[in-house]
Chain A
């Protein structure tokens, strides 16, 4: 019996040790970047910044917001996230609602059209050619339209709608309401938990995407996004580290350095997500589980 107890205690030590270690490994890089972003750039080069800034300064952030590209990028990222989330959510939910209506005669056809997109896609080049043919190059709508609806999201929302009692819509129909009204007045509000989850997924995807800017909109500065600008700075810093391998590491920026700027942008880019996500955590865990177990 005693041996069992020490074994149990050892296991508890191991368990909590591993968990704390995972927590630290996950959080430390963020905290380190946060500390660097608030530390004086010249001082940072000396190294030794871990969790706390040594020479506190706002300069890096001030500098970030003097780069016109970053300001434009911030606004554009915000705009595409809001537009993309609102339009994407309504579209996805509407398709989900229509194919959840059992009496709808084209239901199987429409479902099949969307299911198939989950398994086959045209691929990079045909999609690129399509965007070019449609005249969406260097156009804001290229951020919204090609990825407006994901088949996966449609079926997650539909799975949720199937759990709603049918009597709700039937009484509305007897009152003479059409399906459009039923959708907006009854179904949409009732699906709030799952819609919050999907909205979070769409919003994060929009906020984080950079490749569409890179490939479709790099010719128009007004359409640049924060992630894309960040990517460019990152690639610059990478080449700076590569040059430092050959002993050519010399920053001559007066107030700040690429490294500090990058740290500040990282925080600017990440912060909105950090604010929103803990509030939605209980929803997305439920939504994700429901979606995966149903399919």
Chain B
């Protein structure tokens, strides 16, 4: 043992206390002391392993000729066979195109409109009016997609209000078959999504706007900045961090757009535009019982979203640093 440098150090090297518990016993005692905490969390650790981690282990299925009645050891391994098959399926590329298209559309609309809405809400002077609008706009978020799909199907029907309005305004001379034309499907899904989530998605931006220091606005007013300049130079930069965080999260989820709305709004006439990856996995994985193939689709999705998450994180960090230098 080397002598310590400082004068206060030597205390550490004093004789070990013979009565002090060993490391293992200390741990045991701590576990015993915290037995209630362990008891409380144990059922949920078991739960998370069964319901969240065993399905991840289930990814192995994609590399096997999976037969449900056989045990894990009895399965035949086939390597990347199903992935090769997947990448050779033309349907897969169609489905991928639909997924990416709808996802980009919802990303685009899911940011710009709620941000604009939040900014406008913040400009409303009358408190009660603002609260009423807020309450109304949050409402559709709580309604199920089943209901929303029903409402939209009816709104866009041949004799429905939208067609009536278009006819009355002379924008079209015969009713448009919105739900029967594939080219309209992406737009319909995007608008339905916007209608449902506009208010809800604006909550977080509104909170960020409210968090901006009021003195900044006062100073800008003194300098003679009008409303639009204030929005441009104070509000928008003020909510930038929140926008970036939300953006990273949604880019990571770009490919996980779900399938509920597509499932509920689609019909046989628009299938070429409405099928998304999850529906594809569902059709092949469960209805046709090609479990391995369906799992491969799922793995592809997870891989893409993890890559996107890191990419978005990287790009935005770079972008932010550049801005900071300026």
Contacts and interface: CB of A to CB of B under 8 A. Distances in A.
A176 to B, nearest CB: 12
A39 B124 CA distance: 38
Contacts of A126: 54-59, 61, 295, 298
Interface in A207-254: 207-211, 215, 227, 230-231, 234, 237-239, 241-242, 244-245
Interface in B278-312: 278, 281-282, 285-286, 291, 294-295, 297-299, 301-302, 306, 309
B80 to A, nearest CB: 17
B147 interface: yes
B286 A125 contact: yes
B144 A23 contact: no
Contacts, number: 236
State the majority secondary structure of interface residues on B: helix
Contact of A266 (B147, B268, B298, B306): B147
B204 interface: yes
A15 B147 contact: no
B37 A237 contact: no
A123 B195 contact: no
Interface in A61-88: none
Nearest to B294: A125
Nearest to A133: B68
A244 B157 CA distance: 10
B150 interface: yes
Contact of B133 (A19, A32, A227): A19
A98 B282 CA distance: 37
A33 B285 contact: no
B309 A270 contact: no
Contacts of B252: 119
B295 A110 contact: no
Contact of A124 (B134, B268, B278): B278
29 contacts: A8-B227, A16-B124, A16-B129, A18-B120, A22-B136, A26-B140, A29-B155, A105-B30, A110-B41, A110-B45, A124-B286, A126-B295, A128-B285, A129-B58, A130-B50, A130-B58, A209-B144, A211-B260, A227-B144, A231-B146, A241-B158, A242-B267, A244-B158, A269-B144, A269-B147, A277-B138, A289-B204, A289-B207, A293-B207
Interface of B: 27, 30-31, 34, 36-41, 44-45, 47-59, 61, 68, 117, 120-121, 123-124, 129, 132-140, 142-147, 149-151, 153-155, 157-159, 161, 177, 179-180, 195, 198-199, 203-204, 207, 226-227, 242, 245-246, 252, 260, 264, 267-269, 278, 281-282, 285-286, 291, 294-295, 297-299, 301-302, 306, 309
